[in-house]
Amino acid sequence: MDDRKKGVLFLCGGILCFALVWGLVRGFSGRWPWGTPTGVAGPSWSIRESMKASPDALPQPQPESGKDVLTETPPERWVIYLTGEVARPGILEVAPGSRLYEAVEAAGGLTSMADKEGINLAAKLSDGVHAHIPRVGEKPASEGNLTPAGKEPLSRKGDLSPASPAPIDINHAAAEELEALPGIGPKLARQIVEDRTANGPFRAREDLMRVKGIGQAKLERIKEMIVVRP
Amino acid sequence: MNPLASAPCLPVFAGWCAALSLSSHVPSILAVLVGTLLSTALLLIGTRRIPPGSGLYLSLTLLLVAVPAIFLLARVQGTPPVSKKYEGEATVVSERSWGFRRAVVLDTAEGRSLCLASAEKPLLEGTELRVKGTLIPLEQFLPNRGGSFNAPLFWRGKGVKQGFRPEEMTPSGKPGAWLGSWRTFLRKRLLFCLPPLLRGHLLAAWTGERDPEVADLHRHWGTSHLLAVSGFHVGILATLLLWCLHGFRFKLLWSSAILWSYVFLTGGAASACRAMTMIQLVLLGPMLAGRPSSPVNSVSVAGGLLLLFNPWLFWDIGWRLSIISALVLCSSGRVLTGRNAVVTGFAIWLATAGEASRAFESVPIAGLFMNLLALPAFSILLPVASIAALPALAGIPGGGILALGMETVFESWTALGNGVCALLPWQIPYNPLIGSLSAGMLGGAVGLGVGMGWKRAIVMSVLTVLCGLLFR
């Protein structure tokens, strides 16, 4: 074989390798070899098909023996409303404890226009949640991509982590951290630290009112942003 | 000529980048396989004929893609540290504004930790502290709030391992770390002794820090990269040093030592480290390998070494823009042999426009023209301004006159920049088209740079566009 033919052959080989890469990435993107429901990489299945194929893959909540049978049991399926850049948007059923990638997988996978970096595929879901997969460059119409039913959106980027920073532990936070709370300035933050040093840790959030300068109104403003840990 | 002969490290580097870019999309083993396949594709597309004995080198190259890629992915996907109490010594290694607070990086016995402190707290670089508090996984400490900016990845690129929530932070009274203390001293002198525009530019060039007003001006002109210490700055200093030390014994040794000192003095930014590693390879190449180092290969080696040191740099916008610019610049040098700076400037602008617009939401069209003027102008302005500022910084009587002279020059430049922006006020927002064009430009330029020839470079360009669409 002459050099020219070899060169063309190499070129074709290179393009073939690239085609293989394309197929692998398109076929496996977003599918991990662990976790429920399918744990199987391959063509997109709906959640029902995957359950039929491997019923053991989905953990079924079983009432424990000895427990009161009247106790409310968790739903056997979570109902999720998935919209945006997925192959089959709409109402889906997923196993309790599922994560967003599992719902996406159940909806046929992401489309080519989905903003893969703009969503947290590992976000934990909950029953009745509305998850929106944004398009690249899409500005959020509301605040969130994952919105629990009947509640305000929680965060923009598709995870259920709070949009605001983690709550501040008033028993351990330094004065600088307490200053991040609305209405708490350097002086008040210092007083909080001095109070817990002098009088021991706070047992409840309401104990914060023992600090001079913090009343009911101020406590209500910061109540959701603080926690009390021993 | 084929990539294996002209730039053997390029396919390896490309494979690692492909594997890392897929680390959050597909299983690790598949990411490694894709990286290896892409390297193979690059080698095959660039090869017209295989010289005898190349099979061994080819196998070795693919092994060099796969094995370190496994290591890189294992590091990136490793289990994050758990929350735990920490009490001990810490050194402030860097600090910057972060919203209404200061983001302070502490060097502790548990690795680098990020702490958010009050803006009023005087935690300057080099300060030794006695700290007590809780170490928290970075993703928990700085939850990703969305947008194109990922805070945990940003800080991981800076070498930060975890967050730190302090309960107590008191100066230990020990003498501060000398590099940090020196940077703080230099910053204070620049801030106190020089007029605004001159100090803004020298703050960036000498300490790697950005004056917000000067940074805004350059963002408007599309020349922000001039404020990030990169190959441009290191290259200017290297050229000056080699010229000044001409005829000296151990010229390369002295130059290398001074250049590395400069890189660390400016905060060791990813782009500066990349440039310095590359320059080091170019300087030492003839001594070690007995032949000049290929520029494209040097960029690949420098980029690869930095990834091995800190794989999260792959998501650092400074590192990415630096690598892309350097690859296009080195490649165009081979094709255009420096005859056409305008084409090279355009090629670099186009190749970086996709990444820049994705990170900063848009790129100004004025930047295309401003860069053609700014690069040669600032290669003279920055060294001259540095020398002109010395008397004022040293407190020599009358030294301020030179500084004021340079301030006037920078004011004139500001007027020119604003004028160009008034004539060309348009911005290009990020969109898949500009991303594809950038990827195609990079692929085509690198193809030409490693000697593939025009036809194969076009194929390479098309495949890079498809890669960009696939991996975005």
Which chain B residues are within 8 Å of A5, Cβ to Cβ? none
Q: Which of A112, A136, A161 is the last residue of a domain?
A: A161
The greatest distance separating any two alpha carbons of chain B, rounded to the nearest whole angstrom, comes to 71
* A165/B143 CB distance under 8 A: yes
Residues A89 and A155 in one domain: yes
Residues A138 and A217 in one domain: no
Residues A156 and A83 in one domain: yes
* B27/A41 CB distance under 8 A: yes
- Top-confidence residue, B262 or A164: B262
Separation of CA A170 from chain center: 26
Residues A177 and A203 in one domain: yes
For A37-96, write each residue's pLDDT tens digit. 333 333 333 233 333 333 333 333 333 333 333 333 444 667 788 888 887 777 777 777
Q: How many domains does one find in chain A? A: 2
Residues A41 and A150 in one domain: yes
Q: Which amino acid is at B25?
A: H
Determine, yes or no, domain membership for A129: yes
Determine, yes or no, domain membership for A104: yes
Q: Which two tokens stand for residue A166?
A: 């983690």
ipTM: 0.74
DSSP A103-119: HHHHTT-B-TTB-GGGS
**DSSP-derived pairing of the beta strands A90-94 and B101-108:** unpaired
Residues A175 and A137 in one domain: no
Pairwise CA distance, residues B344 & B440, whole Å: 15
| Burial bucket for residue B414 (CB in 10 Å: 0-12, 13-18, 19+) | middle
The answer to whether residues B164 and B104 touch, using CB atoms and an 8 Å cutoff, is: no
E strand segments, chain A: 78-84, 90-94, 129-133, 146-148, 168-169, 226-227
- Of A17, A32, A112, nearest to B40 by CB-CB distance is A17
Residues A117 and A197 in one domain: no
State in words which class domain B84-176 has. mainly beta
* pLDDT value at residue A31: 53
Residues A197 and A89 in one domain: no
Determine, yes or no, domain membership for A173: yes
Q: Which of A109, A126, A161 is the last residue of a domain?
A: A161
* pLDDT value at residue B411: 95
Domain chopping of chain B, boundaries: 3-78, 84-176, 218-430
DSSP A121-138: TTPBP-TTEEEEEPBTTP
Break chain A down into helix, strand, coil percent, rounded to 5.
35, 15, 50
Lowest-pLDDT range of A23-32, A124-133, B175-184, B251-260: A23-32
* B26/A29 CB distance under 8 A: yes
Nearest CA to CA, how far is B31 from chain A (Å)? 8
pLDDT tier, A166 (very low <50, low <70, confident <90, very high otherwise): low
For A201-228, write each residue's pLDDT tens digit. 888 888 888 888 888 878 887 887 787 8
* B148/A17 CB distance under 8 A: no
- Of B45, B143, B431, nearest to A11 by CB-CB distance is B45
Helix (H) / strand (E) element for B89: namely strand B84-98
Is B57 within 8 Å of chain A by CB? no
Residues A45 and A120 in one domain: yes
Nearest CA to CA, how far is A104 from chain B (Å)? 13
Determine, yes or no, domain membership for A150: yes
* pLDDT value at residue A81: 80
For B278-334, write each residue's pLDDT tens digit. 888 877 766 666 666 678 888 899 999 999 999 999 988 888 998 999 898 888 765
Q: Is the pLDDT of residue A36 over 60?
A: no
Q: Can you give the pLDDT of all 472 residues of chain B as single tens digits? A: 566 677 888 999 999 999 998 887 778 888 899 999 999 888 888 887 777 777 788 888 889 999 999 999 988 887 777 778 899 999 988 888 887 778 899 999 988 999 988 777 778 888 888 999 999 888 778 766 555 677 888 888 888 999 998 888 888 877 667 788 888 889 889 998 999 999 999 999 999 888 888 998 998 898 888 888 888 899 899 889 888 888 887 888 888 899 999 998 888 888 888 888 888 887 776 666 666 667 888 889 999 999 999 999 998 888 899 899 989 888 876 555 555 677 888 888 899 998 888 888 788 989 888 988 888 899 999 999 999 999 999 988 888 899 999 999 999 999 999 999 999 988 888 888 888 899 999 999 988 888 888 888 898 899 888 887 777 6
Determine, yes or no, domain membership for A141: yes
* pLDDT value at residue B65: 92
Pairwise CA distance, residues B272 & B400, whole Å: 30
* pLDDT value at residue B337: 52
pLDDT mean across residues, chain A: 66
Long-range Cβ pairs for the range B369-372 (8 Å, 24+): B369/B420, B369/B424, B370/B221, B370/B222, B370/B223, B370/B417, B370/B420, B370/B421, B371/B222, B371/B223, B371/B345, B372/B341, B372/B342, B372/B345
Nearest CA to CA, how far is A152 from chain B (Å)? 16
Is B117 within 8 Å of chain A by CB? yes
* pLDDT value at residue A76: 62
Determine, yes or no, domain membership for A29: no
Give the count of beta carbons closer than 10 Å to the beta carbon of residue B8. 20
Q: What are phi and psi of A171, to 5 degrees?
A: -85, -20
Nearest CA to CA, how far is A162 from chain B (Å)? 8
Q: Which of residues 389-448 of B touch A (CB under 8 A)?
A: 429-432
Determine, yes or no, domain membership for A16: no
* pLDDT value at residue A144: 44
Range of the domain at A211: 168-227
Residues A149 and A42 in one domain: yes
Give which of B200, B464, B248 is closest to B351, Cα–Cα.
B464
Nearest residue on chain A to B133, judged by CA atoms?
A172
Determine, yes or no, domain membership for A222: yes
- Of B144, B167, B459, nearest to A157 by CB-CB distance is B144
Pairwise CA distance, residues A109 & A121, whole Å: 11
The answer to whether residues B328 and B351 touch, using CB atoms and an 8 Å cutoff, is: yes
**DSSP-derived pairing of the beta strands B111-118 and B128-137:** unpaired
* B472/A136 CB distance under 8 A: yes
Nearest CA to CA, how far is A62 from chain B (Å)? 31
Residues A106 and A133 in one domain: yes
- Top-confidence residue, B386 or A145: B386
- Of B44, B46, B145, nearest to A17 by CB-CB distance is B44
Nearest residue on chain A to B24, judged by CA atoms?
A30
Pairwise CA distance, residues B9 & B60, whole Å: 11
Residues A117 and A146 in one domain: yes
